[in-house]
Chain A
Amino acid sequence: MTGAGGSIIVTDAGFAVPVPGERFVPLAILGEATPRAVDLAPEDDPAALAPLLHAIAAIRIAFPVFSDGRGFSLARDLRRMGFRGRLRAAGHLIADQYPLARACGFDEVEIGAELAARQPEADWRCAACRGRGYLDRIKGPEPNPG
């Protein structure tokens, strides 16, 4: 069960193949027309996208290696900027990072076939049900007195 390039999309529902035909345009080569889907490299500054965010349906942020956590901050930045579209982390993330990615605002993770074979769907599902973290509590609204 893999897509054209052998990639897998992980969501809370499990593994799926990518939607065919979706084309991501790298930020560096954006032309006049705003594309439906944009690729961000970890070093990109999302501020350049600010005026376009309302028209973009999906943004994909690259994780060249799982120990490079820049994408987590990029995702939060985009959500802070008001981006409401689909946010995808792509590249080398491991199952244990799935809840972190979700908590930072990602909707889905795109992984390669090799990784999907080594860390099967059950590992990601197990990671997905980790529950509420400290940050959710700390950033919540003020509790109702009484």
Chain B
Amino acid sequence: MYAYAEFDEDFVRARVRQFRDQVERRIDGRLTEDEFKPLRLMNGLYLQLHAYMLRVAIPYGTLNSRQMRQLAMVADRWDRGYGHFTTRQNIQFNWPRLRDVPDMLDALADVGMHAIQTSGNCVRNVTADPFAGAAADEIADPRPYAELLRQWSTDHPEFQFLPRKFKIAITGAEEDRAVTRAHDIGLRLLRQGGETGFEVSIGGGLGRTPMLGRVIRAFLPEADLLPYVEAILGVYNRLGRRDNKYKARIKIAVHEMGLETLRELVEARFVKTRAEFGGADRAMLAGIAGHFAPPASCHGPETIPPGSPAFRAWCDTNLTRHRRADHAIVTVSLKTPGQVPGDVTAAQMRVLADLAERYGHDDLRISHRQNVVLPHVRKADLPAVFEALAGAGLAAANAGLVSDIIACPGLDYCALATARSIPVAQRIALRFEALKLEHEVGPLRLNISGCINACGHHHVADIGILGLERAGVETYQMTLGGDPTVTAAIGERTGPGFSSDEIVGAVERIVLAYLDLRRDAEETFAEVFRRVGLGPFQQVLYEGGEATDAA
């Protein structure tokens, strides 16, 4: 993985010194709270419901064991012994004190990490396929481009005060595991006639106005990536709306100005931006790519060793095909029924670090589904990995199943939330654990957001839940048929919402209806939904009837 050059190290240290100074100036009044706010946000520091929250970037979801151990140290020393992984592959610490934050940032800089641009109206942490460099269906490794974009966007002088936040996601595989169509810019690596390039989409985003990204360039030669992205950002910075923060994302510009108009403006600007790149970016990319060479060869048998039923169940759900027949990609579920989705204790972080070091080529990933991934594990080592995970409460065999729930922090932490997400996720997971049904059901995405801003990605789940507040009472709306993959779709609302007491039963009815409706175990929820529509599901939700397939 990428290791900081001297330049990165100097930059991050300077940034910590600068922030330390900004904190002092805030305290002595030279900076007003209004002026300090964007500066602290640019350094990942939010003010939440009960305390500050520090959001630390995990660029494209990649970290090594040393970094994971340092996160554990930060959690123990300055927080409450745990952290929370987010849908944008970051980690959040929920209880830092303002005066400690510069020290926390220095500790992160010790291992080449930072919290720069994890917030604010700037280009945010670039997210990527958590299986990058390991997946069997990969066309090209997206990580070098993601790192190049990280460097380009970091402290970019033109784009620190955009109309609104700006999110970029990149994938290099056939399957889209980075939800690229839900990002301001989505990049998909392609090969065309021996040339590598990107399909570039813009204007995706969830929130109160969910929209899927639209393709602005069907094939962009990879060498033109930075000038093209710079052209998009330049057009957006000049013309994106600033009169209403809810209409300020680029998706609204695409919607109001039209894709064709924006494409013309971007292409015209691109002619100029391209002329400004003198070749250093190419040399830097080549240097960066060297950091992402495949792990040193480490052969083993191509079959998984026998083991207990629990081990076999875990292998069935938590492994993904690696590009090498003697390796597997391991998803470590942070969704043991009853736990807070995405939370991990400092002790668990250390176990994960040890496993990565011993069995996983020192490589760890955070997935947008809020799990941890060990991307390169020899099949021969799987039993040992499983045993160690089980000892740390990390061996839930539910990756990709209905209890592998994405949930935002919700009203338990977040100042924007209108309802709780975590307890709902916990109750649903426990219910399905008791039903012993989810392995029969198979892959199913259930995502929960605690407000309309949709951090829990509820719009792109098979079953999406949105928590709202109606007359002082939490109520949960449901959407069905959302899809985060290459066949991306925004879920459709089923109808009136459910109370906190009703929502678990409602989810159960939907899952049972899916079992009734599907032709066989191969037909996914998304496929059934496309075939039968919302009707049969509404029937079981609101009419107490059984799902009948009218189609």
Measured CB to CB, the residues of A under 8 A from B are 66-70, 72-74, 76-77, 80, 94, 96-97, 99-104, 118-119, 123, 126, 130-131, 133-135, 137-143
Expressed in whole angstroms, the Cα–Cα distance for A131 and B14 within the complex equals: 10
A-B residue pairs in contact (CB < 8 Å), sample of 14: A66-B38, A66-B161, A67-B161, A68-B242, A96-B39, A97-B160, A104-B158, A119-B31, A123-B30, A133-B157, A135-B157, A137-B7, A138-B280, A141-B279
A66 & B226 in contact (Cβ 8 Å cutoff): no
Q: 1/0 per residue B127-157: CB within 8 Å of A? A: 0000000000000000000001001101111
A69 & B30 in contact (Cβ 8 Å cutoff): no
Tell me the smallest distance from the CB of B92 to a CB of chain A, in Å.
24
In the assembled complex, B345 has its CB within 8 A of some CB on chain A: no
A134 touches which one: B155, B158, B276, B279 (CB < 8 A)?
A: B155
Number of residues on chain B facing chain A (CB within 8 A): 42
Expressed in whole angstroms, the Cα–Cα distance for A45 and B156 within the complex equals: 22
Set of chain B residues within 8 Å of A139, measured between Cβ atoms: 276-278, 280-281
A138 & B30 in contact (Cβ 8 Å cutoff): no
A72 touches which one: B25, B39, B157, B278 (CB < 8 A)?
A: B157
With both beta carbons as reference points, the residue of chain B lying nearest to A63 in the complex is identified as: B161
Set of chain A residues within 8 Å of B156, measured between Cβ atoms: 133-135
B38 & A142 in contact (Cβ 8 Å cutoff): no
B14 & A73 in contact (Cβ 8 Å cutoff): no
A138 & B151 in contact (Cβ 8 Å cutoff): yes
The listed residue with most B CB atoms (<10 A of its CB), out of A68, A80, A135, A140, is: A135
Tell me the smallest distance from the CB of B25 to a CB of chain A, in Å.
7
Tell me the smallest distance from the CB of A81 to a CB of chain B, in Å.
9
Expressed in whole angstroms, the Cα–Cα distance for A118 and B159 within the complex equals: 26
With both beta carbons as reference points, the residue of chain A lying nearest to B234 in the complex is identified as: A73
Set of chain A residues within 8 Å of B121, measured between Cβ atoms: 67, 69
With both beta carbons as reference points, the residue of chain A lying nearest to B155 in the complex is identified as: A133
Tell me the smallest distance from the CB of B500 to a CB of chain A, in Å.
38
Set of chain A residues within 8 Å of B11, measured between Cβ atoms: 133-134
In the assembled complex, B3 has its CB within 8 A of some CB on chain A: no
| Given known contacts A69-B237, A70-B237, A76 and B155 CB-to-CB distance under 8 angstroms | no
A72 & B237 in contact (Cβ 8 Å cutoff): yes
B151 & A134 in contact (Cβ 8 Å cutoff): yes
With both beta carbons as reference points, the residue of chain A lying nearest to B7 in the complex is identified as: A137
Q: Please name the 6 residue pairs, one residue from A and one from B, whose CB atoms are nearest each other, closest first.
A: A69-B161, A142-B279, A103-B157, A140-B280, A100-B157, A141-B278
Set of chain A residues within 8 Å of B31, measured between Cβ atoms: 94, 119
| Contacts of B26-50 to chain A: CB distance below 8 A | 29-31, 35, 38-39
Using A131-B10, A139-B280 as known contacts, list a sample of 4 further A-B pairs with CB atoms less than 8 Å apart, ordered by residue number in A: A72-B161, A133-B155, A134-B11, A134-B155
Set of chain B residues within 8 Å of A97, measured between Cβ atoms: 160-161
Tell me the smallest distance from the CB of B41 to a CB of chain A, in Å.
11
Set of chain B residues within 8 Å of A141, measured between Cβ atoms: 278-280
Set of chain A residues within 8 Å of B282, measured between Cβ atoms: 142
With both beta carbons as reference points, the residue of chain A lying nearest to B162 in the complex is identified as: A69
B157 & A137 in contact (Cβ 8 Å cutoff): no
A134 & B238 in contact (Cβ 8 Å cutoff): no
The listed residue with most B CB atoms (<10 A of its CB), out of A74, A118, A133, A134, is: A134
B38 & A67 in contact (Cβ 8 Å cutoff): yes
B280 & A72 in contact (Cβ 8 Å cutoff): no
Set of chain B residues within 8 Å of A100, measured between Cβ atoms: 157-158, 160
| Contacts of B112-137 to chain A: CB distance below 8 A | 121
Tell me the smallest distance from the CB of B50 to a CB of chain A, in Å.
26
With both beta carbons as reference points, the residue of chain A lying nearest to B156 in the complex is identified as: A135
A66 & B277 in contact (Cβ 8 Å cutoff): no
In the assembled complex, B21 has its CB within 8 A of some CB on chain A: yes
A66 & B157 in contact (Cβ 8 Å cutoff): no
Set of chain A residues within 8 Å of B155, measured between Cβ atoms: 133-135
Expressed in whole angstroms, the Cα–Cα distance for A102 and B351 within the complex equals: 47
B157 & A104 in contact (Cβ 8 Å cutoff): yes
In the assembled complex, B358 has its CB within 8 A of some CB on chain A: no
Expressed in whole angstroms, the Cα–Cα distance for A123 and B155 within the complex equals: 19
A134 & B35 in contact (Cβ 8 Å cutoff): no
Expressed in whole angstroms, the Cα–Cα distance for A143 and B281 within the complex equals: 10
A72 & B158 in contact (Cβ 8 Å cutoff): yes
Expressed in whole angstroms, the Cα–Cα distance for A68 and B21 within the complex equals: 23
A69 & B158 in contact (Cβ 8 Å cutoff): yes
Set of chain A residues within 8 Å of B157, measured between Cβ atoms: 72, 99-104, 133, 135
In the assembled complex, B470 has its CB within 8 A of some CB on chain A: no
Expressed in whole angstroms, the Cα–Cα distance for A134 and B9 within the complex equals: 12
